[in-house]
Structure formats: structure tokens, C-alpha cells
């Protein structure tokens, strides 16, 4: 491994340790008062066409507690389960990741299309 790759790897690991591995969703949720809430739409994702999106425009985040399942949280956000993904009528979404966050979970979803 050359010296530049070692330096980049070291810098990347240091950056991860310093930032605490926070996701964009966690950074947004940190700015909200979620105490006592069982559900919160932290950020809505929207479809804007292929190659036309601003960064993270199609990504949304939901906060929910043990009172809800991830499917129920998506329903609270206006999405209904389909055979392969979720739909709110004009848009389709998929769940990217669900992570523990404070007293609940932070669900990341991505708008995958419009129809």
C-alpha cells in the first residue's frame, strides 16, 4: 500500500471517529424535539426525475418508537405497502435502512420513481 493510500485511509477513519458516524438523518433529527413523540417525519423525500435531483432530494427520514413497526411508520408518512415497495400515490419508495436512534428508530427511505 503506498503512502497516499495509507494517509487517506487514516484520515477517513479519523473523520469517522470525530463525527461519530452520524447520518444526515441523525443530524436533522438532532435539531428536532422528539421527546414524547412516537412518530415524526424528520425529512420528506420527493421524486424529481432522473439526474435532475439535488443531493439527497429523494431521501426521507422517519423517527418512530417501539409503538410502531417500520411498515406502520411508512403508513403514518402516507405510504402504503405494495408487493415490492411503498407508494403514496404518485411516488414509489423503498426502505434503505433502519437504525436505532435515541428511544426509537430512524428509518431512511428513498423515492425510487413516480407513476
How do the pLDDT tens digits run along the chain, 115 residues long? 466 555 454 544 333 333 344 568 899 999 999 989 999 999 999 887 766 666 678 899 999 999 999 999 999 999 999 999 999 999 999 999 999 999 999 999 999 998 7
Residue 8 CA to residue 69 CA, distance in Å, equals 40
Contacts of 22 (CB under 8 A, 6+ apart): 30
Pairing outcome for strands 86-87 and 80-81? antiparallel
β partners of residue 95: 109
β-bridge partners, 43: 61
pTM of the model: 0.77
Amino acid at each position: 500500500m503506498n503512502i497516499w493510500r495509507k494517509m487517506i485511509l487514516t484520515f477517513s477513519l479519523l473523520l469517522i471517529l470525530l463525527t461519530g458516524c452520524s447520518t444526515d438523518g441523525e443530524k436533522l433529527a438532532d435539531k428536532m424535539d422528539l421527546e414524547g413523540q412516537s412518530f415524526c417525519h424528520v425529512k420528506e423525500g420527493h421524486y424529481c426525475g432522473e439526474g435532475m435531483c439535488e443531493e439527497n432530494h429523494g431521501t426521507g427520514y422517519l423517527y418512530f418508537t417501539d409503538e410502531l413497526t417500520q411498515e406502520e411508520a411508512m403508513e403514518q408518512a402516507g405510504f402504503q405497502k405494495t408487493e415490492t415497495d411503498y407508494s403514496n400515490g404518485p411516488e414509489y419508495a423503498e426502505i434503505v435502512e433502519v437504525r436505532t436512534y435515541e428511544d426509537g428508530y430512524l428509518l431512511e427511505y428513498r423515492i425510487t420513481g413516480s407513476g
